Amino acid sequence: MDEPTQKFFETLLQTQFLAPDAMRAYQRILLERLLRHARAHVPFYRERGTLDPMFGRNGDIVWDRWHELPILTRAEARPTRPRSTPRSLPRSAGR
């Protein structure tokens, strides 16, 4: 098994039986990384301000605002692909 697959497998072993509150906390850690990265490194999201509702005045994530994020349709996504590509990827994303 290659290293990324092995790490993913190990993560599943560690998280599969988490209590709902613990799973939600774990998911929020991952989602926060994703939101912050997309807002900082993906021109499409940064320029449109699409993710702004998720951030409070102090920069913290406001989870109760998840429903305010607009749904990005395929028709909207296709022509914006060049602007939707991140300028960099976090090391944790792998190759």
pLDDT tens, position by position, 79-93: 877 777 787 777 777
In a domain, 13, yes or no: no
Q: Which domain holds residue 42?
A: 18-84
Residue 94 pLDDT grade (very low, low, confident, very high; cuts 50, 70, 90):
low
In a domain, 61, yes or no: yes
In a domain, 75, yes or no: yes
- Nearest Cα neighbor of 54 from 75, 71, 39, 44 is 39
Residue 95 pLDDT grade (very low, low, confident, very high; cuts 50, 70, 90):
low
| Number of domains within the chain | 1
pLDDT tens, residue by residue, 15-70: 999 999 999 999 999 999 999 999 999 988 888 888 999 999 999 999 999 999 88
pTM for the whole thing? Answer: 0.78
